[in-house]
């Protein structure tokens, strides 16, 4: 069973929100997608989580997918974490007495790390995948960019998302994948990275940090640095040889999803 609708975020911006409900769910997972993509790219991941007995809540970032907002744009880095909080609050309210977990990929991994650092002890655990938390690989050059916030740059990420040509083809042909993103968004992420560096000790959640060693978009060193600097007593870091940016779209995705499900089950 699923439901998809527009839901107002903290400032009234309507964000596209989808719930997939499992029978007798034992936990809820809030999935947060990456830059220029949308919640629909996590249908397979969602299917596996629902089959494992988890509800899955997803939303399109503002300016992404079917959500309102200026295209791929943030006014400040606080908006990123506040949008996540909006849907975590919904998940907590609708699933009282059951644990809520966060899973974020790439920019979504940045978003869930920001959320958890700013809102400690509100979720049962956090999973990150290819998360941009330190900007060790200066993909867009040195940040902040000396450009107007509403200046747009082309999305040239497609070839780096995965080692599977079929995934790259689907990404490049997906009408909901954005073809450009704003300088303002990148500079807000840079502000968020700087804040995370300065406040790493405030992150205390149980966390599973996953990254592909061959990630050409976000360096695996971001995840290594995050692991070393946070204060969590329960923290796990896995760097996968030969895997690219979207580890949950790689040919071995089922193995990685099983590992993630096992990690969650041990913390329920």
Q: What fold does the segment set 2-265 form as a domain?
A: Rossmann fold (3.40.50)
Cβ atoms 129, 103 nearer than 8 A: yes
What is the reported pLDDT for 156?
85
Mean pLDDT of all residues belonging to the chain: 96
Q: What is the DSSP letter of 211?
A: E
In 3D space, the residue among 180, 188, 121 whose CA is nearest the CA of residue 154 turns out to be 180
For residues 53 and 34, what is the distance between their CA atoms, to the nearest angstrom? 24
Backbone angles phi, psi at 74, to 5 degrees: -125, 145
pLDDT tens-place string over residues 231-266: 999 999 999 999 999 999 999 999 999 999 999 999
CA distances for 16 relative to 1, 10, 83, angstroms: 17, 14, 11
Please report which helix (H) or strand (E) contains residue 89, including its range: helix 78-94
What is the gyration radius of the CA atoms in the chain, in angstroms? Answer: 17
What is the reported pLDDT for 239?
98
pLDDT tens-place string over residues 124-160: 999 999 999 999 999 999 999 999 999 999 998 767 7
CA distances for 250 relative to 96, 137, 164, 209, angstroms: 34, 21, 6, 17
The residue written with tokens 């640095």 in the block is 225
Secondary structure E strands in the chain: 2-8, 14-20, 27-32, 54-59, 100-105, 125-129, 152-154, 180-182, 207-212, 235-240
For residues 22 and 230, what is the distance between their CA atoms, to the nearest angstrom? 33
In 3D space, the residue among 157, 101, 128, 123 whose CA is nearest the CA of residue 220 turns out to be 128
pLDDT tens-place string over residues 27-68: 999 999 999 999 999 999 999 999 999 999 999 999 999 999
Mean pLDDT of 167-178: 94
Percent of the chain with pLDDT over 70: 99
């Amino acid at each position: 069973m699923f439901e998809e609708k527009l839901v107002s975020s903290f400032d009234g911006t309507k964000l596209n929100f989808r719930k997939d409900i499992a029978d007798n769910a034992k936990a809820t997972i809030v999935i947060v997608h990456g830059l220029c993509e949308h919640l629909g790219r996590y249908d397979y991941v969602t299917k596996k989580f629902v089959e494992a007995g988890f509800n899955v809540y997803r939303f399109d970032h503002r300016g992404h997918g079917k959500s309102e907002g200026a295209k791929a744009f943030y006014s400040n880095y606080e908006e990123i974490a506040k949008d996540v909080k909006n849907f975590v609050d919904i998940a907590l309210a609708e699933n009282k007495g059951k644990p809520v977990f966060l899973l974020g990929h790439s920019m979504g991994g940045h978003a869930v790390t920001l959320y958890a650092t700013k809102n400690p002890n509100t979720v049962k655990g956090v999973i990150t995948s290819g998360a941009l938390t330190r900007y060790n690989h200066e993909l867009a050059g040195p940040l902040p960019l000396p450009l107007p916030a509403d200046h747009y740059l082309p999305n040239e990420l497609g070839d780096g998302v995965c080692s599977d040509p079929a995934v790259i083809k689907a990404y490049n042909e997906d009408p909901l994948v954005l073809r450009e993103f704003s300088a303002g968004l990148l500079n807000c992420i840079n502000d968020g990275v700087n804040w995370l560096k300065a406040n790493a000790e405030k992150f205390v959640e149980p966390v599973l940090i996953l990254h592909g060693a061959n990630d050409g978009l976000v360096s695996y060193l971001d995840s290594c640095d995050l692991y070393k600097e946070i204060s969590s007593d329960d923290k796990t870091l896995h760097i996968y040889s030969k895997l690219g940016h979207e580890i949950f779209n790689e040919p071995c995705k089922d193995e990685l999803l099983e590992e993630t499900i096992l990690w969650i089950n041990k913390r329920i």
